[in-house]
Structure 1
Amino acid sequence: FTEPSAEVDMACLFCAGRGCRTCKHSGWLEISGCGMVHPNVLKASGVDPERYTGYAFGAGIDRLAMLRYGVNDLRLFFESDLRFLRQFRAFSS
C-alpha cells in the first residue's frame, strides 16, 4: 500500500535469526513500517493522487507484545480467545 516503503526489522528472538515459522524462515521480524501511500490507494479512496499525497506510519505494538511475552503466533492476539488473553495482567480477573 506504500511506495517507496521502509521498515524497521530485528533478528527473530524465537530462532536467533536462523529462520522459523514465526519469521517465515527469514530470520527477521518487521517491527514497524512506513512509506508514501500508493496513488492507487488514494484513487480507490476517492482522492485525486495528482493533487494529494499521503504518508503511512505503523509501529507494530502487537509485534512488540508478541516479543515481550514470547508469543510465537501474532494471530493469537486477534482471535478473542479468553484462554489466551487471560494470561496477560490487564485481562486477568
Structure 2
Amino acid sequence: AEMDMSWNGGWLEIGGCGMVHPNVLAHVGIDSERYQGFAFGLGLERLTMLRYGINDLRLFFENDLRFLEQFA
C-alpha cells in the first residue's frame, strides 16, 4: 500500500507500507508462525524535493556532502 498526496494536479507517493515476509523474520530469529511484521516508511526526500525545487531524487543518494549539507 502507499500514501499519496495531491500535488500540482497529480499524485505524489510519499509513503509506503506492507507486511514483512516470513523469511525476513526467520533470518533474525523470530518465529513467523507466532509473529507477523508490518513495515512502513515516509519519503521525506520527496517532500524536501518539493520544498527546495529539486528535480532529481538520485541526488539524495549519491553521498555528495556538498549537496547534503544544505539540509543539515
Structure 1 equivalent of residue 54 of structure 2: 71
Which runs of 5 or more structure 1 residues have no equivalent in the other structure?
Answer: 1-5, 18-27
Which residue of the other structure, out of 64, 68, 71, is the alignment partner of 1:85?
68
The one-letter amino acid paired with 1:9 is D
Which runs of 5 or more structure 2 residues have no equivalent in the other structure?
Answer: none
* 1:44 positional shift: 2.7
Q: How does 1:1-93 map to 2 (within 5 A)?
A: 6-10=1-5, 17=10, 28-85=11-68, 88=70, 90=72
> CA RMSD of the aligned region, Å?
2.4
Q: Stretches of 4+ moved more than 4 A in 1?
A: none
Label 1:77 to 1:12 Cα distance change in 2 as closer, same or farther (>3 A): same
In 1, the alpha carbon distance for the partners of 2:71 and 2:24 equals 38
TM-score, normalization by structure 2: 0.70
Question: Percent of aligned pairs with the same residue?
Answer: 69
* 1:31 positional shift: 0.4
**Number of residues of Structure 1 aligned to a counterpart in Structure 2:** 72
TM-score, normalization by structure 1: 0.58
